[in-house]
Amino acid sequence: MSGTARVVRGGDGPRRELRYGRGEVERIADSELGARHLDLHVNVLRPGVAAGPYHRHSNAENAYYVLSGDVLVVIDEAEHRLGPGDSAFIPPGVAHSVTNMGEREARLIEIYAPPDPDFVEVAAGTTAREGASNA
């Protein structure tokens, strides 16, 4: 069975606010919009706000692709500075966060597969193995 195809022009996707007032998400494809196998959205991170929550997804693979700005991605306690054209892949169960480190907004594509609302915040200093056992 096939779903409904859709085209979203840049800036025209439905939006929602990110946790802790860090920015907003432009939703492109997710389970609420008819996608069954992935969640695709653009995160727009404001400068000078709180760090992204350190969290993991039990079942979803996660990827980031930076369109603009300067972000810090922490993956399993390792810090990575990413800029335009850089990307990161995070396997299921691995703790991570993303934070805008620049003076301007940062824009990044984020993909989860499969689409999974599972978002488990974990304590800083928690490794992938520890985070998975604390579920």
Q: What are the E-state strand segments in 1-135?
A: 15-17, 23-29, 39-45, 55-56, 61-68, 71-75, 78-82, 87-90, 96-100, 106-113, 120-121
Q: What is the pLDDT of residue 20?
A: 87
Cα(134)–Cα(100) distance, rounded to whole angstroms?
Answer: 28
Mean pLDDT taken over the chain: 88
25 or 34, higher pLDDT: 25
- Dump pLDDT digits (tens) for 43-95: 999 999 988 899 999 999 999 999 999 999 999 999 999 999 999 999 999 99
CATH topology of domain 35-133: Jelly Rolls (2.60.120)
CB count within 10 Å of CB 71 equals 25
Q: Is the pLDDT of residue 5 over 60?
A: yes
* Model confidence, pTM: 0.86
What mean pLDDT do residues 16-30 have? 91
126 or 93, higher pLDDT: 93
- The pLDDT confidence band at residue 27, using thresholds 50, 70 and 90, is very high
Q: Is the pLDDT of residue 135 over 80?
A: no
3 or 45, higher pLDDT: 45
Cα end-to-end distance, the chain, whole Å:
34
CB within 8 Å of 88: residues ≥ 6 apart = 63, 64, 73, 75, 80, 82, 96
What is the distance of C-alpha 112 from the center of its chain? 8
